[in-house]
Structure 1
Amino acid sequence: MTPRVSFPSTDSTNLPAAPITHLPFRRISLPSVPSSSLLSAQHRQSVASFASFDSLPEEPVVRRPKRRSLNRKHSRTPADIAREAKRTKVIREFWDTERSYVQGLDLVHDHFLTPIIASLDTHRPLLTRTELTAIFSNFIDIWNFHHAFFSALTALLHPAVSHLDVPHPPQNPNPAPLSALLLSHFPYLSLYTPFITAFPSSMSFLARPPAPFAIFLRTQERDPRCGQLKLADWLLSIVQRCPRYVLLLRELINVERREKEGEGEWDRLGKALTLVEKGESVHSFVSLN
């Protein structure tokens, strides 16, 4: 293979014979031998030898400061390990409960609300439109919101999970921070206000439903998918969801480290907690008890 760069050839046969040019003779002054006093150990320095490194002046030894081991700086104590395990558990509970909650919302939507809406176009509707709105006030908005929220939560914590019915994914020992996701979604918890405001009257209506609707409720509630729970129980779970967020966030804040400088995960989780606590949903729920 021909090299990209043409190096000069060292073969003398290829070079033309050049006449030898003789320079005029000059006397070259050689260095004189130093006196014995200059050869002492204190002033030992060779001026004629370039090969002996022992004859060079000895350089002072510079001792570098010892660096602390990074592993020591970031070593985890038993308290750190326990705190991280608690954090992982709380975040897993956050995902597990949200998944169960969305499944419950799907049950209410598919098993109860959809047949009732379909009956509105028949000669014998199960409920009037006014009654339907009173019981399921803003339910569709809540249902849509939590599907979007759970999808985003799953994409953050378990990207491989794509459906509600898949087996539980393996526990992530180092789950991603939740604060950014919560701060972007929790302002929409105000969607709960109309539902919770109408909740007392909804429970009163379901306690004494009209005959056709009462038969429908008994039939639907016998379904094994309801888990021996009534429609009123499933609607109560909607009212209880925001207070559950408060408990989970407080647990998560307790196990997060607070940054000494700047805003960290601890601070952002506090803001998310404030969004829930100041929401009308929590205050309305407290006023019911």
Structure 2
Amino acid sequence: MKRHGLMAGSPCSLPDLIHLEENQSVLRSANSSPTHTNTSISLGQPRDPDSGSTHSSHTGMDAHRHSPDRAVVVARREGRAREISPINMNGLDLMRDAVLVNGPVEDGGKVDTGLNVDLSPSHRTEAGTEEAKLQESSTDEKKMKRGSEVRVQDSTEQKLYKIANELLLTERAYVARLHLLDQVFCARLTQEAGKGLFPVDVVRTIFSNISSIHTFHSQFLLPDLETHMGQWSVSPRLGDVMQQHAPFLRMYAEYVMSFDHAMELLRVWTERSAPFRNVIQDIQSQEVCGSLTLQHHMLEPVQRLPRYEMLLRDYLKRLPDDDSDHSHAEKSLQVISMAATHSNSAIRQSENLKKLLEIYEMLGEEEDVMNPSNEFIREGRILMLAARHSAMERHLFLFNNMLLCCTPRFSLGGQRFTVRTRIDVEGMTVQRTTNEHHPHTFQVSGKERTLERTLDLQAR
């Protein structure tokens, strides 16, 4: 039977003896060493081969808990723990590992671990090799960090190039579309109109200033973009070229403002004139049109300014604040945004004029609705309360300066109304009222008239 205690001079092997335990009394001196802190090694049956002395602490309990086939070393440093397998491990290997965990070997290779084991030169060499590997690993980590920073910078430059290149590619496609509108559709229709088949003014109104837009983009903006992108590797800049040409984009307001009217003329004359329709259908059947209609191609200029604005915002978002092109990009974005606003304003103005014309026709051309200062806001059906709790249907038109209360009248030509009451917005008040027969009532009062109304849920 194997004994769990040791007598002085009795032989043993390390795999049969080693067990690490944090509170072993034999290592108190080692734990108190400045260079070997937080490491504790417990030997179930330690033996010093030189002195023949034996150290035992809790040997019977430790040997009972742990089989001689299993040895555990736990080394702690800076709050980290690890377990080392005893396979192919001897006493010197164990001590070498403890030294590497705690710090470099000093005092001629003597290690204060409580075991009084000398490290041979070969093991000191291995320790130095391990330290060199740690230093090399730290250097590699620093190189990786620097490489990561370079990749981030490269990624930013690549994204900026991608945005600028997208602007160039879409500009090429856009110029091709402008050429189709100006030199193909408009030129062919103008030629046919010269034969007296349909009015030349119709063609001019439909295409507005498309010829000027085409000239600007094909002869000025696109060539400059090509030049800048060709020099991108030397001077990566986009803001300066856009700032130079942005003021000319205000010409789009004219085209956008007349766009709705152009679409209406195109529809009318396609139905009315066979020669007009044949020219358009012939061009649309060609490969250059890409199976798209003239109306689709004419929409491109309306959408181009918002595209410039979007790309420049993305470019500025990724451009470093200290980049020399930053101020140019900001200024160009301001001008293009203003031009886009003008275009949007022109669109709204065009839509407003179109709506005023419709209302003017519905009212029998009796009211001064077409005044340029008038701005349409809203319309809808309501019920007007009368005596004895009766209600009559009315139609309201609200403008920025007046409210028209109208009655519907029969007409074969579409909706028609007769104006019954006009209340100026200046001095007008609206108050909620209560009525047991009609919920949701309110009263509209002006300087001269007062109306009581109840809302119809069908109001638009």
Instruction: Output the CA distance in 1 between the equivalents of 2:349 and 2:164.
Output: 29
Partner SS for 2:328: helix
Name which of 205, 208, 217 aligns with 2:280: 217
2:270 counterpart of 1:207: no
Name which of 195, 212, 236 aligns with 2:255: 195
Which structure's residues are more often strand, by fraction?
2
Instruction: Output the CA distance in 2 between the equivalents of 1:274 and 1:283.
Output: 16
1:84 CA displacement: 1.1
1:285 CA displacement: 5.2
1:264 CA displacement: 3.0
Instruction: Output the CA distance in 2 between the equivalents of 1:183 and 1:73.
Output: 36
Q: Which residue of 1 aligns with 2:206?
A: 135
1:129 CA displacement: 2.7
1:206 CA displacement: 2.2
Shifted more, 230-239 versus 265-274: the winner is 265-274
Considering Cα pairs closer than 8 Å and 6+ residues apart, tell me whether 1 or 2 has the greater RCO.
1
2:343 counterpart of 1:281: yes
1:24-74 residue CA offsets vs partner (Å, 9 max, x unmatched): xxxxxxxxxxxxxxxxxxxxxxxxxxxxxxxxxxxxxxxxxxxxxxxx999
Instruction: Output the CA distance in 1 between the equivalents of 2:347 and 2:306.
Output: 8
Q: Which residue of 2 aligns with 1:3?
A: none
Q: Which residue of 1 aligns with 2:224?
A: 152
1:230 CA displacement: 0.8
Which amino acid is 2:213 matched to?
I
Which structure's residues are more often helix, by fraction?
1
8 Å contact from structure 2 (residues 316, 326) kept in 1: yes
Aligned residue pairs, count: 201
Which amino acid is 2:223 matched to?
S
Partner SS for 2:208: coil
8 Å contact from structure 1 (residues 196, 284) kept in 2: yes
1:139 CA displacement: 0.9
2:309 counterpart of 1:249: no
1:130 CA displacement: 2.2
The structure having more radius of gyration, on CA atoms, is 2
Partner SS for 2:194: coil
8 Å contact from structure 1 (residues 276, 282) kept in 2: no
Q: Which residue of 2 aligns with 1:258?
A: 321
1:181 CA displacement: 1.1
2:242 counterpart of 1:182: yes
8 Å contact from structure 1 (residues 221, 228) kept in 2: yes
Instruction: Output the CA distance in 1 between the equivalents of 2:238 and 2:147.
Output: 23
Instruction: Output the CA distance in 2 between the equivalents of 1:106 and 1:89.
Output: 26
**Gap regions ≥5 residues in structure 1:** 1-71, 160-171
Name which of 67, 77, 97 aligns with 2:150: 77
8 Å contact from structure 1 (residues 88, 175) kept in 2: no
Instruction: Output the CA distance in 1 between the equivalents of 2:350 and 2:181.
Output: 22
1:204-260 residue CA offsets vs partner (Å, 9 max, x unmatched): 22233222312221121111110011111111011100000011101111110002x
Which amino acid is 2:299 matched to?
L
Instruction: Output the CA distance in 2 between the equivalents of 1:283 and 1:151.
Output: 30
Instruction: Output the CA distance in 1 between the equivalents of 2:335 and 2:312.
Output: 11
1:156 CA displacement: 2.0
Instruction: Output the CA distance in 1 between the equivalents of 2:326 and 2:317.
Output: 9
**Gap regions ≥5 residues in structure 2:** 1-144, 352-460
8 Å contact from structure 1 (residues 189, 281) kept in 2: no
Q: Which residue of 2 aligns with 1:240?
A: 303
8 Å contact from structure 1 (residues 197, 284) kept in 2: yes
1:276 CA displacement: 0.9
Name which of 319, 331, 334 aligns with 1:271: 331
Residue identity (%): 24
1:111-157 residue CA offsets vs partner (Å, 9 max, x unmatched): 21111122233232xx4232122111111110100012101111221
TM-score by length of 2: 0.41
